Structures are given as structure tokens and as C-alpha cells.
Structure 1
């Protein structure tokens, strides 16, 4: 975990890799909870019997479930204790490159892309690459924007 106690530390780290999270298991219970929370119960995610004969041989995580893991990944990799508050400001380019099969473990690597001054704080752009254990290509690459305020 890397803690930024002031915005100058953030600015100095722009353009560098901040770190990689621990592994997160994406089991069927997590997939089912996400489906229930989002009303997205497409069979490829929740119907284990039908998915067994589908294109991946099992259920897969929702792309947006994989994307939602940015929150715990970033929180595990970095904090900005020098800020009074943090706000999720949105996403830039986001791609779901390969599916995440049920039972997989994923982790994310965070690169601090840029730090821009804004009134009352800074806006931080981070590129997060989520990889699946044993996979050749990333599951997701997303540009995440946050604002840290004093």
C-alpha cells in the first residue's frame, strides 16, 4: 500500500506504476450477488448448467463486475491520506478484453497516469489493468478518474 500524504507526492508519482493488488477470487456467489444487484441475470453469468455447454464451458463474470473490482483494487494499492475527501469522477477508455471464468482469481495493477490541479484539490487519472491468473491477456483495462479535495 502506498500512502500519499500530500498532493506534491501524487504529482511526483505521475507516470509511474503504483502497485499490484492481492488476488481476488471471482466465485459463483459473487457473480450471483452482482446479477441480483444489477438485474443482469443473463444465462452466461448465472445458469451454471446452460453455461457448461456454452462457449466458455462455465459461467463468466459480468464485465461490469470485473470493472467494479477497481474500487477494492485501488483502495488496496493506494491511499491519499493528505486529502479531506475523495470522489470517483468517472471513467475514460475501458475495455473488457477477455472473460473471467467462474472460480478465477484476478488482481489489478495501478499506474498513476496523470495528476491535474483543480479548484480545491487534484484530479488523478489511473490506468488499472485487471489480469486473470494464468490468462495470456488482461481481463479489463480501465482509465479511472478520481478527485481528491483538501
Structure 2
């Protein structure tokens, strides 16, 4: 994990790609719990038998489940010391590039794309790629905005 000692150090890292996270297994239980939490029980996510005959040959994780992993992945990528709090400010762009088969392992790759001053702190734009172990294409690429308040 990269630790930035204040926002000036963070600003100096603009353009830097950080170390990838550890691998995280996406199991059927996680997918089922996400389906229950969001009321999205589409068979490609939760019906293992039907999904075997479907377009992906097995169940796949929800795209929004993959997106919801970003806070967990970033939490293991970097932190900024000397700030009061960080908040999620939104997303500029999200692309679900490749289906994420249940049972796969994913990890996050983060690049600090931009750091700009805002009232009370800085806004960080990160490009986060969620890679699937052994796959040519990632599951997701997102441009994510967060703010660190000093």
C-alpha cells in the first residue's frame, strides 16, 4: 500500500500507476448476496444450472457488483495521511469490458490520473482497472472521483 504524507505528496504522484492489489475471489455466495441486496436475480448471475447452457457457460458477477468492489480495492492501494476524511464524489466513465465468471479472481490496478484543488481539499481522479486473473481483457475500467478534505 502506498501512503501519501499529505496532499502535496499526492499531487506529485499525478500520472503514477500504483502497485496492484492482492487477488480477490468472486464466489457464488457473494454474487447471491449482491442479487438479494439489489433485487437483481437475473439467471445469468444466480441460476447455476441454467447459466451452464447460457452465453457464458456459467454464472457471472453483476457489473455493478464488480463496480462496488472499487472502495475495497482502493483501500488496499493507497491512503493519504494528514486529511480529515475522504469521500466518494462520483464517476466520470465506467465500462464493463468483459464478463466476470463466478469463481474468478480479480485485482485492482490504479493510476492517479489527476489531483486538483477544490474548496477544503483536493479532488483525485483515478483510473481503476479490475483485472480478471488469466483473462486478456479486464472486467471493468472506471474513472473515479474522490475527494480528500484537509
Q: Do both proteins adopt the same fold according to a TM-score greater than 0.5, normalized to the shorter chain? A: yes
How do residues 2-21 of structure 1 correspond to structure 2 at under 5 angstroms?
2-21=2-21
Per-residue deviation, 1:19: 1.9
Q: Secondary structure at the match of 1:99?
A: coil
How do residues 107-122 of structure 1 correspond to structure 2 at under 5 angstroms?
107-122=107-122
Residue 100 (str. 1) matches residue 91 (str. 2): no
Q: Is the 8 A contact 1:19 1:111 kept in 2?
A: no
Q: Secondary structure at the match of 1:19?
A: coil
Per-residue deviation, 1:82: 1.9
Other-structure match for 1:74: 74
TM-score by length of 2: 0.98
Q: Is the 8 A contact 1:4 1:10 kept in 2?
A: yes
Other-structure match for 1:38: 38
**What RMSD in Å do the two structures reach over aligned CA positions?**
0.6
- How many aligned residue pairs are there? 150
What are structure 2's unaligned runs of at least 5 residues?
A: none
Q: Secondary structure at the match of 2:142?
A: strand
Q: Provide the C-alpha distance between the structure 1 equivalents of 2:91 and 2:44, rounded to a whole number of angstroms.
A: 26
What are structure 1's unaligned runs of at least 5 residues?
A: none
Q: What do residues 96-144 of structure 1 show as CA deviations (whole Å, max 9, x unaligned)?
A: 0000001000001000000000011000000001110110111100011
